[in-house]
Chain A
Amino acid sequence: MRAPLATIVGIGELTPRRSTTGESSLGLMAEAAALAVADGGLGPEDVDGLLVGQQYGEIPMHVPASVAEYLGLRPTMANVVDLGGASAAGMVWRAAAAIRAGMCEVVLCVGGAARPATGFPKSSYRAPIREYDVPFGASGANTTYAMIAQAHMDTYGTRAEELAEIAVRSRANAQLNPAAIFHGQPITVDDVLASPIISRPIHMLEAVMEAAGASAIVVVSPERARSLGRAGAHLLGAGEKVTHRALSSAPTVTTGPLKDAMAHAMAQAEVGLADLGNYQLYDCYTIVVGVTLEDLGVVAPGKFGPWLADHDFSPTGDFPMNTHGGQLGFSQCGLAGPMSHVVEAVRQLRGEAGERQVPDPRLSMVTGNGATLSEAAALVLGGTS
């Protein structure tokens, strides 16, 4: 295993809520940022790097400046990372690169969203996907992920029950996480299949639930982490790949760019599949988990369905996956959803996951997925002790 590229020393996460009344996304992100910086044993004056995500029409331009101003930061490196669900993992690698390039020393990565009861604010936009998808009746992620799932079923004979099983397991893990929005609400395969079809073959319970919340992490150099004297998670390797925006331009519809991103992350970390001990895999829809397992190489293409029966995703199982409940069980609070996978990996590696602690977490594979298997980022994280 290689020397670490950077270290996550602080995490902060708000408990997801279905909706907010009057709060701003900036306000929620500030709360998560304060938690993360304090958790790292640092203060606001230490933060000199800032990575933020898109703000859903709330702040159409100049997002880093808006966040920095709100938090009273004067960063020497600030950027939007606009990789959708891959933004959080993408931020971690960029933070490491910025630190190593001498741009800054302490990077705050933060994402979150307020969510009025009427839903996330929508902004109008012009893009090819607006011109060539929306006028035909295909808009939103549901329809596109449905086409990916349908392709998997047509190509490999994947069954609806197998996809549903992934949602059931996420919910099962969420029962060990009091912060998860579906804590206290386990489900069965029959529940999933009885839930309304949104866009065939996707049922309502196979899609993440939107919520309000925020998450933040703090990335520093391994040397700085050592001087802080706190347990954290070392970034050992990362990978990223962007292949398309609309599914009509995807190189394939049954695999995704995470295949290359995860391979790069493991090669850079100088580790193999046998070194991984917990998996925090982006799960906006059940089909994404199936494709990611195949792209990771733990199971042959097309075979994730039958493979499920022989493997256990619980914290004490042979394949601990999305131990916080995944976004399917935890909820998707804007970009805090993707960040929840990073935060959970740090908790597991620190040994702070409580009731859902993986006995031997070894290394974490963390993935992010943006647009519709379009933007991918992967991280290999390891403990600092």
Chain B
Amino acid sequence: MTLQIVDTHADLSVAPPTPTAESQPWWDALREGRFTVQTCEACGTAQGYPRTRCVRCWSGHLAFADASGGGELVTHSEVHRPGQASWSALAPYYVGLVRLDEGATLLTHLLTDALPEGRRPRAGDRCDVVPMRVGEWVLPFFRVHG
């Protein structure tokens, strides 16, 4: 499933990801608008970030599977004083944990424009992935739905 890459944050100049040989395919897929989750072919576990072994059974038989892109908000914070000054231009903004329907949990940047005026995100809210261009990279942001 190929998703439309969104360009609203393309000019944001912030610390980029630091891919490794393990994670490069995940970041490459995002550049093509595909959101994948590394999944163990032995036990079926979907893990939050790519590794050389399954986090549950230590099998080395892992594959990148297309994810549904849906998930549920676990928790969040509205960041007013970012840890890195380069994010200050965007503050306040939201980050949070999203538990994917596949079972893995990711930290992500939250888009709240689909929520009614004045409504903050809360645990249990449904979220959808939004491939967001940030500088040279495409990051999996999530939009929160009430």
**Which A positions have Cβ atoms within 8 angstroms of B?**
126, 128, 130-140, 142-143, 146-148, 150-151, 154-155, 196-202, 246-249, 253
Contact = CB atoms under 8 A, between A and B. Distances in A.
Query: Of residues B20, B81, B90, which shows the largest number of chain A Cβ atoms within 10 Å of its Cβ?
Result: B81
B44 interface: no
B18 A150 contact: no
Given A137-B79, A147-B77, A154-B122, A249 B105 contact: yes
A198 B77 CA distance: 10
B64 interface: no
Contacts of A130: 18
A136 B77 contact: no
Nearest to A133: B107
A132 B49 contact: yes
Interface in B47-94: 48-49, 74-84, 87, 90, 92-93
B81 A136 contact: no
Contacts of B106: 132, 248
Given A132-B49, A135-B137, A151-B123, A253 B74 contact: yes
A150 B76 contact: yes
B18 A147 contact: no
B129 interface: no
Given A134-B84, A139-B83, A148-B75, A247 B123 contact: no
A136 B95 contact: yes
A202 B78 CA distance: 10
A134 B105 CA distance: 16
* A interface secondary structure, majority: helix
Interface residues of B, number: 40
B107 A132 contact: yes
Nearest to B135: A135
Contacts, number: 112
A137 B18 contact: no
23 contacts: A126-B18, A131-B23, A131-B49, A132-B106, A134-B83, A135-B17, A135-B134, A137-B95, A138-B83, A138-B107, A139-B83, A139-B84, A143-B95, A147-B77, A147-B95, A151-B75, A197-B78, A200-B80, A246-B107, A247-B97, A248-B48, A248-B107, A253-B75
Interface of B: 14-20, 23, 48-49, 74-84, 87, 90, 92-93, 95-97, 105-109, 122-124, 134, 137, 139, 141
A147 B105 contact: no
Contacts of B123: 150-151, 154-155
Nearest to B105: A248
A137 B85 CA distance: 10
Given A131-B49, A136-B108, A151-B123, A143 B15 contact: no
A190 B14 CA distance: 35
Contacts of A253: 74-75, 97
Contacts of A131: 17-20, 23, 49
B14 to A, nearest CB: 7
Given A154-B123, A253-B75, 4 more contacts: A139-B83, A199-B79, A202-B77, A249-B48
A147 B83 contact: no
Contact of A147 (B16, B19, B76, B122): B76
B80 A198 contact: yes
Nearest to B96: A147
A237 to B, nearest CB: 31
Contacts of A200: 77-80, 92
Contacts of A249: 48, 105
Contacts of B80: 196-200
Contacts of A147: 75-77, 95-97
